[in-house]
Structure 1
Amino acid sequence: MMLRVKHHCCRKLSTYTLFLITLYLSAIALVAFVCKDIPLSPLFKEFHRDTNKLSQQVSDSNTLRLEEATQYFKSRRPADSIKHYKREFKGQVDIVIAIVTVKRKSRQTFSTGYLIQTSAALDKIVRTHNTSFNVTLFICNTETKDSDHSEANFVSAYIPMVTKHSDQSERNANVTVLQKETKDYIYCLSTARMLTPRYILMVEDDSVPNENFLEVIQQSLTQIGERKFAFLKLFYPPKWQGFALEISRVLELLCFGAIGGSFFLVFHHTCQLHRHWKRSLYVQYIVGFLFTVTVIYLIGRQNIMTFRSRSRHFHSLHPSPACCTPAMLYPLETVPTLVDFLNNSQQLDSDVGLDLQINEFTQTFDLPGYQIEPNLFRHIGMISSLSKPIKHPEEFL
C-alpha cells in the first residue's frame, strides 16, 4: 500500500514537471514567432530575405514621414519662423545645431526628403523643449550648386541657412568624396563656432532626433561634470549594438538572466507552485535564468533598449567607438583644435573617413569621447550622400 502511494506521488510530480517544461518551451516558441517579424532581432533576417520588399516598406514609411514633415512646415508662416531664430537670447546660447546637408546623387527619381524630415523634427523640439538650454538651429548647405538642392531651398524659408561655395581645390577633379565630406564638416563646424555657443551639435541631414534628446544631453553633461571631453556621440548603428562576444554585452545578458531567475523564485513562491514542483531553489533559479536569457536574446538587445529610450534616466554613457558621425555634440573649447587637426589632415591629402579622423584626434590629444546609449537619433538615410550603394533596409524599418 505504501509503495503504491509513493509511486502515485512520483508520477504526479513528474506530470507537473512535464507541464512546466511544456509551458516554458511554448512561451519561448511564442516569443520566437513574434520576434521573427521584429527588425534587428536574431531571427528577422532568416524569415525576411526579400530585400526588395523590405526596401519598399522603408520607402513607404519614408513617404509618410515626409508628408507629415511637409505639412508641418506648411502650417507655419515663414516670416514668423525665421523671426524666431533671429531673436535675441538672454545670456549665452547653450547649443547651436547645424544640420549638414548635400544633395544626394542617386539613380532614384524621387526626392528622399531626409532634410525636410530632420529639419521639421528639430524645429519642433527646439521650439517646445522643457530644458534650460538656449538652443538655436541653422541649415548648413554644402551643395556647391545650391539651386539644385530643392529640399534645402524649401526649408530655408523656415530655418536660417548658410551655403558653402566651392573653392579652387574642391573644383579639382582629384578631390575625393571623403575629402569633400571633411571639408564640408570643417566649414559647418567653423560657421557654428562663430555664434560662440557652449556646445555645437552637428547633425547630418538624415538623422531624426528623439523627442527627449535635449533632456538626455542635459543629464549626460551633468554626469560628465567638469571633465574635459572631445564629444558626445548621439548615434551608433543599431546593427552593431546587439549581443555579442564582448565582456560588457555578455555581462549585460547575464544580468538579465539573474533578474529573471530571481523573479521566477518569487513567482513560484507567490503562486505556491513550489508545493507541486518540489525542486530545490537552485534548480528553480536556473530554469528562470535560462528562460530569461533565451527570451531576451531572441528579442534582441537593440529592441530591449527602445524601452530605455523613453526616459532620460535609463540612458548611460560609454567610451565611444570610432564609427559614425550622424549626430555629434562638441564643447566649444574643443572645436578650434579639432578644426586645425582636420585641416592638417586635408593638407596631407588624407583620404580617411571623417569618423576615423575624429577618433584619431581624440587619441592624439588624449581626450575621451563618449557615446550615449540608447541612441538619441534615428538614422533614416538608406540612400547615402557618399555615393555608396543603398544600405540594407533592415536598419531603417
Structure 2
Amino acid sequence: MKPLHTLLWLILLFVITFTLIVPPVCISLPFSKFYYLYNKQDDVTKKAELLNSERYKKSLAYFSSLHSESSKLFYLNMKKSGHLDLVVAIITVKRNDGTLGYLTQSVAKMDKLLKEDRNFERKFMFICNVDQNLYGHEEARNLEKFIPVEYRFENLSGIHQSSPHKVLYHLHKNFDTYQKETIDYMFCLEMAYSMNPDYVLLVEDDTLPLPMALDVLTTKLRWLTLFRSEPMKNYAFIKLYYPPKWQGFGNEMRRILEVIAIGMVGGGCFFIFAIRKKIFTQYLYFVLGAIYFIIFALLLDRQNVLELRRLASQLYSLNISPGCCTPAMFYPKWIIPSLLNYLANDNNKHHTDIAIYNFITSNNLTAYQIEPNLFAHIGMYTSVHQNSRKDPQEFIFSM
C-alpha cells in the first residue's frame, strides 16, 4: 500500500473511532469525558438511587435465605477455635434515612465473601455499633441475629476494662463530629485487635467488597512477605479504597508516565503492521498508534482504563498510600497499638484519615494502596454531613 493510501486509512480509522465508536461507549462510562455531556446530573442521581435500592432488596433477600443461628455460629465458633487469621469490623452509626440500607448491603456482601473465602482459614466478623443510642440503630439491631455486634456505648467486660483509652470510649458528649469519628474508629480498631488476629480489616458501613477482594489482597500479601524476615512489619496498612474521582489522569509525574506508557503500547501495536514497510512508514505508524491510544485513554480517563487490571489478581498494582479516606483499611496487628496511641494523643486536630497519614509520615512508615479498588463506596449520602450528596457518577456500578 502506498504511503498516501496508508495515511488516508489511518485518518479514516481515527475519524470512525472518535466520532462513531468512542462517544457511544463513553456515554455509559462514569468519569469518561463524554459522561456528563450526555447524562444530566439529576438523572445520574436517580439511577444511582435506583441501583442502591436494587442492591438493598437483594441484600434483604440474602439474609432471608440464611438460617440466623447457623450464620452467627459460623463466626462464634471461629472465635472459640483459638487464633484468628483475620477480623473484619464494620463500623456503623445510625443514619437519618434508614431506607438506604447501606449497612445491610455491606454486611451481606462481606458475610457472603467471608463464608466462601479460602484464603483466610480462621476469620471473624462483627458489626461495631458506635451510635450513642443503643437501641436507636434499628438496622444494626435487625442484623444482630445473623452477625455478632459490639457496642461502644455499652458496659463491656472486654477492652473497656483493660484499654488505656477507655475514658475516651465512655465519653457520651462529643461535640465535634470529627472528634467522635476518630474515637469511634479507635474503639472498633481496638475491639478487633483485642481478639488477637494476624490482620484487621476495618470497613465503614457504606462500603462493599468486590468479589475478588480477598483473592487480590492475598496475592499482594504474598508479594509483600516474599523474602522478608519480618514480613508483617514492612508496611503499616493497605488501603483498599480510594475515591475514583481522584484516580483520573493528572499532572502527577507517575500518571504522566502512565500516559506515555500507553502511547508506547499503542505505537508498538501499530508498528507491527509496518514491520516490512519503509522506515518513514514505520515511524508514521508508531507515532499515530501512540496518539491513537493516548487520545482513547484520555477520553475514557484513567478510572476506566484501570478496569483492565481486573482481568487477573496479579495485574492489580500496589502504590504508596495517599492521605485521604478510610472506607476500607487493612492492618497487620503489629501497627495497631502504636496507631491507637497516636490517635488518642492527636488531640483530634485532624480528620481521622489525615491523622492516620500523619502517623505513618511522622514515624517514617510505608503504607500502600491497591489499584483498582477492592471495595466500592455506596454512601452517596454521608452520615457526617446530613443531606449532603456526593457526585452521583461515583455510585454507578454493578456488583
TM over 0.5: yes
Question: For structure 1, which runs of at least 5 residues remain unmatched after alignment?
Answer: 1-8
Question: 1:150-191: CA deviations, max 9, x gaps?
Answer: 21111111010011117897443x621100101111111111
CA-CA distance at 1:96 after TM superposition: 0.2
Q: Aligned AA for 1:333?
A: W
Q: Aligned AA for 2:241?
A: F
Q: Aligned AA for 2:239?
A: K
Pick one of 218, 228, 232 that aligns with 2:234: 228
CA-CA distance at 1:310 after TM superposition: 3.8
Distance 1:285 1:229 in 2: 41
Alignment of 1:352-371 (within 5 A): 352-371=350-369
Distance 1:316 1:20 in 2: 33
Distance 1:391 1:84 in 2: 36
Aligned to 2:392: 393
Q: Aligned AA for 2:100?
A: T
Aligned to 2:123: 135
Corresponding pairs, count: 374
CA-based RMSD: 2.1
1:66 matched to 2:46: no
Whether the 8 Å contact between 1:103 and 1:149 is mirrored in structure 2 is yes
Aligned to 1:375: 373
Whether the 8 Å contact between 2:236 and 2:365 is mirrored in structure 1 is yes
1:81 matched to 2:82: no
CA-CA distance at 1:279 after TM superposition: 4.5
CA-CA distance at 1:103 after TM superposition: 0.9
Whether the 8 Å contact between 2:249 and 2:301 is mirrored in structure 1 is yes
CA-CA distance at 1:385 after TM superposition: 1.2
CA-CA distance at 1:13 after TM superposition: 5.4
Whether the 8 Å contact between 2:75 and 2:123 is mirrored in structure 1 is no
Alignment of 1:75-154 (within 5 A): 75-88=65-78, 92-105=83-96, 108=97, 111-154=99-142
Whether the 8 Å contact between 1:140 and 1:162 is mirrored in structure 2 is yes
1:288 matched to 2:289: yes
CA-CA distance at 1:34 after TM superposition: 1.9
Pick one of 37, 43, 50 that aligns with 1:46: 37
Whether the 8 Å contact between 2:14 and 2:292 is mirrored in structure 1 is yes
> What is the DSSP-based 3-state SS (H/G/I as helix, E as strand, rest coil) of the residue aligned with 1:293?
helix
Aligned to 2:256: 250
> Which one has a bigger Cα radius of gyration?
1
CA-CA distance at 1:91 after TM superposition: 5.7
> What is the DSSP-based 3-state SS (H/G/I as helix, E as strand, rest coil) of the residue aligned with 1:361?
helix
Q: Aligned AA for 2:11?
A: I
Distance 2:383 2:82 in 1: 37
Whether the 8 Å contact between 2:207 and 2:378 is mirrored in structure 1 is yes
> What is the DSSP-based 3-state SS (H/G/I as helix, E as strand, rest coil) of the residue aligned with 1:201?
strand
- What is the TM-score of this pair, normalised by structure 1? 0.89
CA-CA distance at 1:33 after TM superposition: 3.4
> What is the DSSP-based 3-state SS (H/G/I as helix, E as strand, rest coil) of the residue aligned with 1:242?
coil
1:197 matched to 2:197: yes
Whether the 8 Å contact between 1:101 and 1:115 is mirrored in structure 2 is yes
CA-CA distance at 1:132 after TM superposition: 4.4
Aligned to 2:162: none
Distance 1:253 1:289 in 2: 10
Q: Percent identity?
A: 34
- What is the TM-score of this pair, normalised by structure 2? 0.88
CA-CA distance at 1:88 after TM superposition: 4.0
